[in-house]
């Protein structure tokens, strides 16, 4: 609001600059040209006299110069009478006033509305730094963390927080440095090492450099199952021209990748590039090869126990993320096979609740329920 008041006052000042002189009537006669000329000529006469007195010019030259200036004076005097009187121009003045009153606001206002950003407040840096944290001002949030880290260079958590933000806004150098500091201070973890590897890779324009590769390997040392690290190590193999190795790494990863993992598509494309097939989706919490091997060496009771544990894990996962229709169907079948009809029935009921409104899903649930003899 204050801004608009300021704009109005400024506009008014501009208009006033035109209107103020117009208020004096035409009576004032413009200072004549000839008058000013005469004054100059008189001054020149004085100077000639001075020059002659100092002996700079001789008497004869001085006389000639005097005569010349005198001729100019005569001519100027003759012109004084000729300067015409000012013609009255009330109409003209009204027109000028109208132009100023309408034209200035129209031109200035129009041009400003086109070019300006009146609603955008000033953002002095000091003020932004002092203000309450504003989640939309990412640049300042980063800067604050940076200032904090400058003062506390051993705060590993700080580096860990800011590193992914750097990566997101494309400051990969800073991201790599922050991850490296986080690792130095907090110790290696899969997340930190892959973060470092990714940042180094982005820095190199997408090439998995030696440094990036060692970071991914360090991530695997911390967590042998980390999918990102495995994916990028496959990429490293592919970039080195070792397609078979890449295919092996990715196939193994795909076998461990649940059907609902968002990176499945990416993995499929990668495998297609190296000429390998995408293996069938692994069961979300389905038994891994290791589980199967372990199961074989167990007593029947132990085996039953282990399978029960796996089913319970599936149940727990579905309780959290219930939009996996295949998961629910698998759960119903599993309880049924384990001979726990009540649990199978309850699973069917929960699945129906989750997919109420989805006729296709409800159809499949009903069909399985009939097949397993759970009733509806």
Partner 1 sequence: MNPEIGHYALVLSLAVAILMTVIPIWGARAGDAALMKVGTTLALVLAGFVGLSFATLVVAYVQSDFSVLNVVENSHSAKPLLYRITGTWGNHEGSMLLWVLVLAIFAALVALFGNNLPARLKANVLGVQGSVATAFLLFILLTSNPFTRVIPPPAEGQDLNPILQDIGLAIHPPLLYLGYVGFSITFAFAVAALIEGRIDATWARWVRPWALTAWAFLTLGIAMGSYWAYYELGWGGWWFWDPVENASLMPWFAGTALIHSAVVMEKRDALKVWTVLLAILAFSLSLLGTFLVRSGVLTSVHAFATDPSRGVFILAILVFFIGGSLALYALRAPMLRQGGLFAPVSREGALVLNNLLLTAAAAAVLVGTLYPLALEALDGSKITVGPPYFNLTVGALMLPVAFAMPFGPLLAWKRGDLIGASQRLMAAFGAGIVIAALAAYAQGGGPVLAPFGMGLAAFVVIGAVAEVIERAGFGRVPRATAFARLRGLPRAVFGGALAHAGVGVCLFGIIAETSWNAERIAGVKVGGSFEVGGYELTLDRLEPRNGPNYRDLVGVFSVRRGGVEHGTIESAKRLFTARNMPTTESGIRTMGFSQLYVSLGDELPGGGVGVRAYWKPFVTLIWIGSIIMALGGALSLSDRRLRVGAPKPAKKPKVKPDPASPVPAE
How far is 302 from 296, CA to CA, in rounded Å? 10
Pick 102 or 244: Cβ nearer partner 1: 102
Q: Is 72 in the site for partner 1 (CB under 8 A)?
A: yes
Instruction: Please name the residues in contact with 152: beta carbons below 8 A apart, sequence gap of 6 or more.
Output: 158
The CB-of-3 to partner 1 minimum distance in angstroms stands at 6
Please list the residues that pair with 282 across neighbouring strands. Answer: 258
Pick 49 or 337: Cβ nearer partner 1: 49
Q: Which parts of 136-165 interact with partner 1 (CB under 8 A)? A: 136-140, 142-143
The CB-of-200 to partner 1 minimum distance in angstroms stands at 20
| Three-class DSSP category at 267 | helix
Q: Is 275 in the site for partner 1 (CB under 8 A)?
A: no
Q: Is 77 in the site for partner 1 (CB under 8 A)?
A: no
Among 63, 112, 224, 363, binds partner 1 (CB under 8 A): 112
Q: Give the phi and the psi of residue 116 in degrees, each rounded to 5.
A: -85, 175
The CB-of-62 to partner 1 minimum distance in angstroms stands at 10
How far is 182 from 178, CA to CA, in rounded Å? 6
How far is 243 from 237, CA to CA, in rounded Å? 7
Q: Is 104 in the site for partner 1 (CB under 8 A)?
A: yes
Is 141 exposed, middle or buried (CB count within 10 Å of its CB: 0-12, 13-18, 19+)? middle
DSSP 136: T
- The two tokens of residue 259 are 């059907």
Q: Which parts of 7-66 interact with partner 1 (CB under 8 A)? A: 7, 10-11, 13-14, 17-18, 20-22, 24-26, 28-33, 35-46, 48-50, 52-57, 61, 64-65
Q: Which parts of 84-103 interact with partner 1 (CB under 8 A)? A: 84, 86-87, 89, 92-93, 96, 99-100, 103
N-term to C-term CA, the chain: 67
Pick 37 or 340: Cβ nearer partner 1: 37
Among 74, 98, 101, 123, binds partner 1 (CB under 8 A): 123
Q: Is 240 in the site for partner 1 (CB under 8 A)?
A: no
Is 257 exposed, middle or buried (CB count within 10 Å of its CB: 0-12, 13-18, 19+)? buried
Pick 139 or 290: Cβ nearer partner 1: 139
Q: Considering just the CA atoms, what is the radius of gyration of the chain in Å?
A: 45
The CB-of-148 to partner 1 minimum distance in angstroms stands at 14
Pick 45 or 222: Cβ nearer partner 1: 45
How far is 230 from 212, CA to CA, in rounded Å? 12
The CB-of-61 to partner 1 minimum distance in angstroms stands at 6
The CB-of-101 to partner 1 minimum distance in angstroms stands at 11
Is 239 exposed, middle or buried (CB count within 10 Å of its CB: 0-12, 13-18, 19+)? middle
The CB-of-294 to partner 1 minimum distance in angstroms stands at 54
Pick 43 or 277: Cβ nearer partner 1: 43
Q: Is 122 in the site for partner 1 (CB under 8 A)?
A: yes
Q: How many residues bind partner 1 (CB under 8 A)?
A: 82
Nearest Cα to Cα of residue 4 among 109, 98, 99, 104: 109
Please list the residues that pair with 258 across neighbouring strands. Answer: 282
Among 1, 126, 301, 360, binds partner 1 (CB under 8 A): 126
Q: Is 135 in the site for partner 1 (CB under 8 A)?
A: no
Q: Are 268 and 289 in contact (CB under 8 A)?
A: no
Q: Which parts of 293-332 interact with partner 1 (CB under 8 A)? A: none
């Amino acid at each position: 609001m204050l801004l608009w008041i300021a704009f109005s006052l400024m506009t008014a000042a501009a208009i006033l600059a035109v209107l103020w002189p117009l208020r004096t009537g035409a009576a004032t006669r413009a200072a004549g040209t000839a008058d000013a000329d005469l004054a100059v000529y008189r001054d020149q006469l004085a100077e000639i006299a001075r020059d002659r007195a100092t002996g700079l010019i001789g008497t004869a030259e001085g006389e000639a110069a005097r005569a010349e200036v005198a001729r100019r004076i005569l001519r100027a005097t003759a012109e004084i009478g000729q300067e015409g009187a000012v013609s009255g121009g009330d109409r003209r003045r009204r027109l000028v006033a109208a132009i100023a009153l309408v034209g200035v606001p129209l031109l200035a206002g129009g041009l400003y509305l086109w070019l300006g950003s009146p609603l955008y407040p000033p953002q002095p840096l000091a003020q932004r730094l002092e203000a309450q944290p504003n989640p939309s001002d990412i640049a300042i949030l980063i800067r604050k963390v940076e200032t904090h880290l400058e003062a506390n260079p051993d705060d590993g958590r700080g580096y860990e927080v800011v590193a992914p933000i750097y990566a997101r806004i494309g400051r990969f150098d800073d991201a790599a440095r922050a991850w490296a500091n986080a690792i130095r201070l907090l110790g290696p973890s899969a997340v930190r090492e892959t973060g470092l590897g990714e940042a180094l890779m982005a820095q190199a324009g997408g090439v998995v450099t030696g440094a990036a590769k060692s970071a991914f390997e360090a991530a695997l040392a911390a967590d042998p199952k980390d999918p990102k690290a495995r994916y990028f190590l496959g990429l490293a193999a592919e970039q080195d021209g070792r397609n078979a190795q890449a295919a092996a790494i990715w196939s193994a990863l795909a076998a461990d990748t649940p059907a609902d993992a968002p990176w499945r598509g990416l993995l499929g494309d990668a495998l297609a590039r190296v000429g390998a097939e995408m293996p069938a989706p692994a069961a979300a919490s389905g038994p891994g090869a290791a589980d199967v091997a372990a199961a074989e060496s167990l007593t029947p009771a132990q085996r039953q126990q282990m399978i029960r544990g796996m089913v319970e894990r599936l149940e727990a996962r579905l309780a959290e993320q219930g939009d996996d229709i295949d998961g629910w169907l698998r759960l119903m079948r599993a309880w049924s096979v384990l001979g726990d009809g009540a649990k199978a029935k309850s699973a069917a009921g929960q699945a129906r609740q989750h997919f109420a409104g989805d006729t296709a899903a409800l159809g499949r649930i009903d069909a399985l329920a009939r097949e397993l003899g759970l009733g509806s």
